[in-house]
């Protein structure tokens, strides 16, 4: 498994901290924030491959709103939804908004890891396609390397 | 007990309807019969009155006519002429020759001293003195006299008519004997029918004409003439045998005689009783028909009511079940959600400990194994708790079912495939009896699969080992039914009532959440169908899932 950057968003501090520690222990670069707002702030500054997002958070932005923002700031970041109650409707809405998958809390850690790995795979292949396209474009029109960014 | 209630209702229904329908019918019948018999009586009375009047006037006319003829003779002939025997004889001969029907038997001329001066007739009565006769005075006083009937020498009933001749001081009398057989015949002609009688009695009740029954002329009758007032009147006399004798009487001959007409109603009442019998037959038949119809209708009605009540009860039970499910679902969801978060924390913490434990330095530690077992136990039980809360949430899920094109046979086939291994291990034979052509319906495939999985799993658990499960599908009008029948131990009525309740389970603690059947129940309900359970203790159990045939929309 490749190492990748993970952002965990959950208002339950104990859960958040432990999860981040465990992910770090598995050689993933994981960070945790306790609210949607904090997540949005951080995403504006740093790039993450996978975001694990609790859809039910009291006060402030809820999971769906945060998801919208995330997809706005970093469209390529894959989002895994964690849901405390089985509101499949919320999850379906999340999936429609571009979330990769969802998990029911409490989930098995191995399931989480597996889905994260899948999400990252998808993201990598996506990235690769973009890179290939860019390379293809650059080999044809080298001057475009100065165009933007 | 409930049955007794329906029986009571039926009885009430029948008795009230019978009372209100047969009562008026009987009343009408009796009223009509009463009116009819009254009419009949009136008719008989009318008949008698009419007869009595006409006959009495005929007799009166008869007497008056003869009195008039005698009166005419004394007015036109002088005493001197008539008192000569040859003159009177000639007159007598002339009258009889001219008017035979007059019934004139003899004629006599009597002077003021009562001596019969001349006599014409078959007997030698000349020279008889009538002075002592009671009527002699009356003739002189009133001018005329008609006697009662008496037997003459020939043993034939006669009457005497006497009139006074025109005079100042030397008054004389013309006396005639009339054969009363002529008016006897007149009266007899009113003896109608086989029981009708007609006769004349005088003021003392002595027969003046021969009656048809009971009695002879000049004999006493059982009539009390004083009972009859002026004019014509009808009396009723009850007789033995239910017959009624109607007796009508009219006074005639200036109130001296009474013409009596009598008729027994019984004779013609045979006809009346026939009418009564016919009416009774019609009424009885009518009543019987009404009673039969009422009993049949009431029975149908009550049976219908019973059925409706039963359906209502079932519906109520279903509604209560749904209410229970909804309330419990809400509660379960709330609890599950509250428990999930701490559960997640516990799980993660244990995981973290497990992660740390795998580091080299702990591996050599004395109690490493103990820690490792404890942590894995914690994780195992978090997992168990997780399954429970997820089940509870699944139960509370109010998700609209997603409609796919579902082939019920195929869904069952797949489910059986998944479970066949489990069944084989326990020596359970699953037999399939699928209907050949089931329509593809719009339903939720995965939810249906969950239901079937649940039911078949339950059957396997119920049998334990070595048994048979029979799975059958059928198309019943607008429903597809899938029945899952096991030959397990079955269940008593008390358990059967509760099996769809959430958290009710007969399995050992930790093996069942008691949510499977209630989830299945709400799923099938949402899909528009029903689950029912059949069977009793010792006879196995059959679950029947019936789903509406809703054809998928054409895409």
- Summarised one tens digit per residue, pLDDT across range B357-380 is 888 787 888 888 888 899 999 998
Which pLDDT value is given to residue B554?
Answer: 56
Ramachandran bin of B28, using left for φ above 0, alpha for ψ from -120 to 50, beta for the remaining angles: alpha
Name the band, by pLDDT with cuts 50, 70 and 90, for residue B473: very high
Is residue B370, in this structure, part of any structural domain at all? Answer: no
- Strands B467-476 and B428-433, by their bridges, are parallel
If one counts the domains in chain B, the total is 3
**Is the domain of B408 the same as that of B529?**
yes
**Is the domain of B107 the same as that of B221?**
no
Assigned CATH class of A5-146: alpha beta
* Distances in whole angstroms, Cα of residue A86 to Cα of each of A11, A56, B527: 18, 11, 20
DSSP for B297-311, written as a single string: HHHHHHHHHHHHHHH
- Summarised one tens digit per residue, pLDDT across range A8-32 is 998 888 999 999 999 998 888 999 9
Helix axes B445-463, B516-526, angle to 10 degrees: 150
Name the band, by pLDDT with cuts 50, 70 and 90, for residue B555: very low
Is residue B136, in this structure, part of any structural domain at all? Answer: yes
**Is the domain of B207 the same as that of B162?**
no
**Is the domain of B125 the same as that of B232?**
no
Closest CA to B61 of B231, B182, B174: B182
**Which residue from A85, A105, A109 is facing B351, i.e. has the nearest CB?**
A109
Name the band, by pLDDT with cuts 50, 70 and 90, for residue B51: confident
Contact A19 B348 (CB under 8 A): yes
ipTM score for this prediction:
0.81
**CATH of residue B158:** 3.30.450.20
Q: Is residue B380 less than 8 Å (CB to CB) from chain A? A: no
Residues 6+ apart with CB under 8 A from B426: B460, B463, B464, B465, B466
Hey, of A52, A87, A89, A105, which one would you mutate to test binding to chain B, going by the most B CBs within 10 A of its CB?
A105
- List, in sequence order, the alpha helices (H) in B426-503: 445-463, 493-496
Is residue B323, in this structure, part of any structural domain at all? Answer: no
Which pLDDT value is given to residue A87?
Answer: 59
Is residue B360, in this structure, part of any structural domain at all? Answer: no
**Is the domain of B126 the same as that of B218?**
no
Closest CA to B138 of B99, B169, B171: B171
Which residues of chain B make contact with A89, given a CB cutoff of 8 A?
399
B235 compared with B313, residue with greater pLDDT: B313
**Secondary structure, 3-state, B3-35:** HHHHHHHHHHHHHHHHHHHHHHHHHHHHHHHHH
Domain boundaries, chain A: 5-146
DSSP for B127-139, written as a single string: T-B-TTSHHHHHH
Which residues of chain B make contact with A84, given a CB cutoff of 8 A?
337, 340-341, 344
**Is the domain of B63 the same as that of B154?**
yes
Segment holding B218, helix H or strand E = none
**Is the domain of B163 the same as that of B261?**
no
Contact B352 A22 (CB under 8 A): yes
Is residue B7, in this structure, part of any structural domain at all? Answer: no
Question: Which residue carries 């009422």 as its tokens?
Answer: B294
**Is the domain of B241 the same as that of B162?**
no
Hey, of B330, B334, B343, B351, which one would you mutate to test binding to chain A, going by the most A CBs within 10 A of its CB?
B351
Is residue B293, in this structure, part of any structural domain at all? Answer: no
Instruction: Determine the distance in angstroms separating the CA of B415 from the nearest CA of chain A, rounded to an integer.
Output: 24
Instruction: Determine the distance in angstroms separating the CA of A134 from the nearest CA of chain B, rounded to an integer.
Output: 41
**CATH of residue B489:** 3.30.565.10
% of chain B beyond a pLDDT of 90: 9
**Is the domain of B218 the same as that of B170?**
no
For B520, the domain range is 401-548
Task: Indicate if the pLDDT at residue B323 is higher than 50.
Answer: yes
Q: Which of B176, B195, B228 is the last residue of a domain?
A: B176
- Cα B216–Cα B219–Cα B221 angle in degrees, nearest 5: 90
Q: Which of B229, B245, B268 is the last residue of a domain?
A: B268
Contact B386 A88 (CB under 8 A): no
- Summarised one tens digit per residue, pLDDT across range B488-536 is 888 888 888 888 887 777 777 656 667 788 888 888 888 889 999 988 8
What predicted TM-score, i.e. pTM, was given to this entire model? Answer: 0.45
Which pLDDT value is given to residue B398?
Answer: 46
Q: Which of B129, B160, B176 is the last residue of a domain?
A: B176
- Summarised one tens digit per residue, pLDDT across range B71-115 is 888 888 888 888 888 888 888 888 888 877 778 888 888 888 888
**Is the domain of B127 the same as that of B261?**
no
Strand spans (E) along B306-375? none
Contact B352 A18 (CB under 8 A): yes
Long-range contacts of B326-334 (CB under 8 A, 24+ apart): B328/B502, B328/B503, B328/B518, B329/B395, B329/B396, B329/B398, B329/B502, B329/B522, B330/B396, B332/B392, B332/B393, B332/B395, B332/B396, B332/B502, B333/A85, B333/A86, B333/B392, B333/B393, B333/B396
Hey, of A8, A102, A106, A107, which one would you mutate to test binding to chain B, going by the most B CBs within 10 A of its CB?
A106
Return the top range by mean pLDDT from B223-227, B483-487, B547-551: B483-487
B267 compared with B286, residue with greater pLDDT: B286
Do B118 and B85 touch, CB atoms closer than 8 A?
Answer: yes
B450-489 residues touching A, CB cutoff 8 A: none
**Is the domain of B115 the same as that of B188?**
no
Contact A105 B393 (CB under 8 A): no
């Amino acid at each position: 498994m490749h190492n990748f950057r993970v952002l965990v968003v959950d208002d339950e501090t104990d859960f958040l901290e432990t999860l981040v520690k465990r992910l770090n222990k598995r050689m993933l670069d994981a960070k945790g924030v306790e609210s949607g707002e904090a997540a949005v702030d951080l995403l504006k500054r740093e790039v993450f491959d996978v975001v694990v997002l609790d859809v039910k958070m009291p006060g402030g932005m809820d999971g769906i709103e945060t998801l919208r923002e995330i997809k706005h700031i970093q469209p390529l970041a894959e989002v895994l939804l964690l849901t405390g109650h089985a509101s499949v409707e919320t999850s379906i809405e999340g999936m429609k908004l571009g979330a990769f998958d969802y998990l029911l809390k409490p989930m098995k850690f191995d399931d989480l890891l597996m889905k994260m790995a899948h999400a990252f795979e998808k993201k990598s292949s996506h990235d690769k396609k973009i890179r290939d396209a860019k390379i293809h474009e650059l080999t044809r029109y080298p001057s475009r390397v100065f165009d933007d960014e | 007990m409930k049955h007794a209630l329906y029986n009571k209702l039926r009885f009430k229904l029948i008795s009230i309807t019978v009372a209100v329908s047969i009562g008026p019918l009987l009343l009408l019948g009796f009223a009509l019969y009463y009116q009819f018999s009254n009419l009949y009586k009136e008719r008989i009375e009318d008949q008698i009155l009419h007869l009595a009047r006409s006959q009495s006037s005929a007799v009166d006319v008869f007497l008056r006519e003869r009195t008039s003829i005698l009166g005419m003779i004394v007015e036109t002939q002088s005493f001197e002429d008539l008192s000569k025997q040859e003159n009177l004889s000639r007159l007598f001969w002339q009258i009889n020759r001219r008017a035979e029907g007059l019934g004139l038997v003899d004629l006599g001329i009597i002077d003021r001293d009562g001596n019969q001066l001349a006599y014409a007739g078959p007997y030698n009565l000349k020279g008889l003195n009538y002075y002592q006769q009671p009527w002699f005075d009356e003739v002189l006083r009133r001018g005329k006299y008609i006697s009662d009937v008496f037997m003459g020498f020939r043993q034939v009933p006669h009457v005497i008519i006497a009139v006074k001749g025109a005079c100042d001081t030397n008054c004389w009398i013309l006396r005639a004997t009339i054969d009363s057989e002529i008016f006897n015949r007149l009266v007899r002609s009113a003896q109608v029918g086989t029981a009708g009688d007609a006769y004349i009695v005088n003021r003392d009740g002595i027969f003046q004409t021969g009656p048809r029954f009971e009695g002879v002329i000049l004999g006493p009758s059982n009539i009390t003439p004083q009972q009859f007032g002026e004019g014509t009147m009808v009396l009723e006399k009850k007789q033995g045998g239910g017959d009624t004798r109607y007796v009508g009487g009219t006074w005639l001959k200036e109130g001296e005689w009474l013409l009596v007409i009598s008729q027994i109603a019984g004779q013609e009442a045979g006809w009346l009783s026939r009418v009564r019998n016919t009416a009774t037959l019609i009424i009885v038949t009518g009543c019987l028909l009404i009673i039969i119809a009422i009993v049949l209708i009431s029975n149908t009605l009550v049976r219908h009511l019973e059925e409706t009540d039963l359906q209502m009860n079932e519906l109520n039970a279903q509604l209560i079940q749904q209410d229970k499910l909804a309330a419990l679902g809400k509660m379960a969801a709330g609890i599950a959600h509250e428990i999930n978060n701490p559960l997640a924390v516990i799980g993660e913490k244990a995981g973290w400990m497990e992660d740390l434990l795998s580091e080299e330095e702990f591996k050599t530690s004395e109690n490493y194994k103990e820690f490792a077992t404890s942590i894995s136990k914690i994780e195992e039980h978090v997992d168990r708790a997780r399954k429970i809360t997820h089940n509870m949430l699944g139960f509370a899920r109010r998700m609209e079912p997603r409609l796919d094109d579902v082939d019920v046979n195929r869904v069952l086939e797949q489910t059986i495939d998944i479970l066949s291994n489990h069944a084989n291990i326990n020596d359970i034979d699953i037999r399939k009896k699928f209907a050949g052509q089931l329509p593809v319906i719009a339903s939720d495939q995965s939810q249906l699969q969950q239901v079937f999985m649940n039911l078949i799993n339950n059957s396997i658990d119920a049998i334990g080992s070595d048994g048979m499960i029979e799975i059958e599908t059928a198309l019943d009008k607008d429903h597809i039914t899938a029945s899952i029948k096991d030959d397990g131990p079955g269940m008593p009525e008390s358990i059967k009532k509760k099996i769809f309740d959430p958290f009710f389970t007969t399995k050992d603690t930790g093996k069942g959440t008691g949510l499977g059947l209630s989830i299945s129940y709400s799923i099938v309900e949402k899909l528009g169908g029903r689950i029912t359970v059949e069977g009793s203790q010792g006879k196995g159990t059959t679950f029947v899932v019936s789903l509406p045939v809703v054809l998928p929309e054409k895409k």
